[in-house]
Structure 1
Amino acid sequence: MRLVIARCSVDYAGRLSAHLPIATRLLMLKADGSLLVHSDGGSYKPLNWMSPPCTLSTVEPDAEQLDAGITEIWRVTQAKTADMLVVSIYEVLHDSAHELGIDPGLQKDGVEAHLQKLLAEQIHLLGDGHTLVRREYMTAIGPVDILARDAAGAAVAVELKRRGDIDGVEQLTRYLELMNRDPHLAPVTGVFAAQEIKPQARTLAEDRGIRCLVLDYDAMRGLDDGESRLF
């Protein structure tokens, strides 16, 4: 990964156009070819970016650009859409490269992993007639927590979280878009399951036709007998 802190302006040209005026920003160049432009705010979300597959080329500024103070121009072109991200660099404050090695991927914490195991064993919690196909059903963009079939035999993809937020819904949406292209699986419906689901996440899920399921972890473990409680 290459990290460059520079005074720069950024222009995006393609299906949409966007301009970031001159400011000091972090330019993150990843090994997969992607480029992300970050400011010192906005949490994890970049101001602009170009996703792979893409190629980066360095262009010498012309006389007018040199007079304006531009020392280097990066052009990042998306291979599939020909969209282009142009970074005009005025001053480089930091430039370093780091070899991160192979990433092992996201590891679920103990509760999420146990939730997955318990739901696979208690697949009826999805509804009457549901059957388990497998846990960790692999797709081209990562594993779906649980693949099941409903009483009619239709495929159901389940994403599990301890606390369900919008990011989890977005993740399941990407899985569903990909899985529904597979004629052996389609149509695939989604279930977003968690111990707690935030209202915004529920609204987004329901808007996208994804069913929400709140899981009682203690009851699934046999530690809380809901039928014996007075309240």
Structure 2
Amino acid sequence: MRLVIARCSVDYVGRLKAHLPLAIRLLLIKADGSVLVHSDGGSYKPLNWMSPPATVRRTTPAETDLEEGVQEQWIVQSAKADDRLIINIYEQLHDSSHDLGVDPGLIKDGVEADLQRLLAEQIHTLGDGFTLIRREYFTAIGPVDILARDATGGTVAVELKRRGDIDGVEQLTRYLELLNRDPLLAPVRGVFAAQQIKPQARVLAVDRGIECLTLDYDAMRGVDDTSTRLF
């Protein structure tokens, strides 16, 4: 990756036109061919960019006519369309290159698979006397996250989400309709479990006779002692 801090102006020419007036900005040239123009604000989002694949052609005043004061011009050409990012550099304040190597990618913690594993291991979270039938109980329309039995021997289907919304309730409703056709499982009731459940989803679930359960992920993985909390 090459990092250049420069006083520059930037023009995007192609399907649309955009102009960034003269200012000090960070230019990122990545190994994949992408070029991004950043300011010191706006969080992670660049002011403008060219997605890969793209090529960068650099010219100087000695090679072609440029605007007065321009030390170097970059023309970033997209390989997919006739779009160009034209960067006129008036003053270069920093230039460095770094080999970042192969990135292992983002490893997410607290995804639905983690919640499913923990809840299966701690099935008592659903209530006293609960036992696990199996995780990923397959049906004709997809897998139910957890199938369990309650203290009375009744079948319980659990749908897990990080953030529970109406779509999740609808999904569990379809599973329940199908599972209740199986005489070996029926009657089957539903539990909608999530770290956060939206109010609209909770109202819909209760209206359909589905229990809602808010999961404390930190407590389930043993990094938060709920007994020491004041609230």
Q: Shorter-chain TM-score: what band?
A: 0.5 to 0.7
CA-to-aligned-CA distance 1:127-152 (integer Å, 9 cap, x gap): x853239xxxxxxxxxxxxxxxxxxx
Give, in whole Å, the separation in 1 of the partners of 2:194 and 2:91.
47
Asked whether the equivalents of residues 60 and 73 of structure 1 are also in contact (C-alpha less than 8 Å), the reply is yes
Q: Deviations over 1:67-100 (max 9, x none)?
A: 6200000011111112000000000000000111
Letter of the 2:215 counterpart: D
Identity of aligned residues (%): 61
Output the aligned Cα RMSD: 3.9
- 5+ residue gaps, structure 2, are 121-133, 145-159, 165-192, 202-211, 221-231
Matches of 2:51 and 2:21 in 1, distance apart? 21
Shift of 1:115: 2.8
- For residues 93-112 of structure 1, the aligned pairs below 5 Å read 93-110=93-110, 112=112
CA positional deviation for 1:59: 1.8
- The structural deviation recorded for 1:111 is 5.3
Name which one, 1 or 2, has greater alpha-carbon Rg.
2
TM-score with structure 1 setting the length: 0.54
Using the size of structure 2 for normalisation, the TM-score is: 0.54
Q: What secondary structure sits across from 1:114 in the alignment?
A: helix
CA deviation map 1:36-92 (0-9, x unaligned): 000000000000000001111112237996562000000111111120000000000
Match of 1:121, SS? Answer: strand
Alpha-carbon distance in 2 for matches of 1:85, 1:10: 7
99, 107, 130: which one pairs with 2:141?
A: 130
Alpha-carbon separation, structure 2, partners of 1:44 and 1:161: 27
Secondary structure of 2:32's aligned partner: coil
Aligned residues: 151
Distance 1:40 1:161, change over 3 A: farther
Asked whether the equivalents of residues 74 and 86 of structure 2 are also in contact (C-alpha less than 8 Å), the reply is: yes
Residue of structure 2 in register with 1:86 after alignment: 86
